[in-house]
Amino acid sequence: MNFWISRLLRLLAVLLAVSFIAFTFVSLLPGDTVDAMLGANASQEDRDAVRADLGLDDPLLIRYVDWLGDAVRGDLGVSYRTNQPVAEAIRERLPVTLELVALSQLIAFLLAVPIAIFGAMRPGSWLDKLLSAGQLTLLAIPSFLMALLFMAAFAVNLGWFPTTGYTPLGDGILDNLRSLLLPAAAMGLETVPMYARVLRTDLVNALDQEFIWYARAKGNSTSRIMIHHALRPASIGTVTLGGITIGRMIGGAVLVETIFALPGLGRFTIDAVNNRDFMALQGAVVVATVGFVTVNFLVDILHGIIDPRIRTAEAVR
């Protein structure tokens, strides 16, 4: 079967599975949806009417199929708290999270790639050991603590950046970057050690392959061999890790968004939990899980572009 078609069919199957799991998870959370909407003092007649309108007494599978049909058309329901369509609320907040994640991963890769290259060029050297010690230090600091440290140092004490809030990109690129740089740096630095360690290991292994020996025999410099010959085949593991990390961050930037009061998907999810807004929570969870699966689908496609042998092996099956 064609590589691209098989990957697309797999994506659709996984999307159905994860959306059903997310829907089931939210449906089984403790608490009554009707109480969240009407309050505990509502009359039984009003409660029964709402339950019938929402189909809450229907079997879980029937409710999922009804919800899925609406979701495919872009209807994720209406927030109980704000009466705003959930899809509209998510469309307003998702770009903030995507921008935050993109900037954090840009920072991470700009730091991790040279660290990995320097370490792989002289494995076991004092520089390699120093870089490894720095990576272990970063691994020991969680992103929320890094965020608090950055806020105290660069926003409160030095006043270089705003302490909280978000400036839209349309209001100015520099102001937008100032509002996102500290939270993005806090999230990005947490992932630098993972990328650097995986890429360094794969580079060391790649440098021991026959095609690298051939490149050395032709008189290529170490830096040229590293950049033009070893980096591409060694990057598959890092790309895979990047897909997992980015997908996880789409729904996992909760603490950093809360600390910096960013109006993103993570903070939207926390507000939905605090307000027992099950419809909003359901939409946020499903969007985050779908985002995770979609990012990893794109990584799968990127694997086939980086290493054509993957596509060839798929075509032979």
Give 165-209 pLDDT, tens digit per residue. Answer: 888 888 888 988 988 999 999 888 888 888 888 888 887 777 777
Q: Which domain holds residue 178?
A: 88-268+284-316
Determine, yes or no, domain membership for 67. no
CATH number at residue 213: 1.10.3720.10
Whole-number Å distance between alpha carbons of 62 and 60: 5
Any domain includes 222? yes
- What is the percent of the chain with per-residue pLDDT over 70, rounded to a whole number? 79
In a domain, 7, yes or no: no
Q: What is the pLDDT of residues 126-137, one digit of tens each?
A: 887 888 888 888
pTM: 0.78
- CA end-to-end span of the chain: 7
User: pLDDT digit string (tens) for 72-120?
Assistant: 888 888 887 788 888 899 988 889 999 999 999 899 989 988 888 887 7
Please count the structural domains in the chain: 1
Phi and psi, residue 235, nearest 5°: -90, -5
Average pLDDT, the chain: 79
Is position 187 within any domain?
A: yes
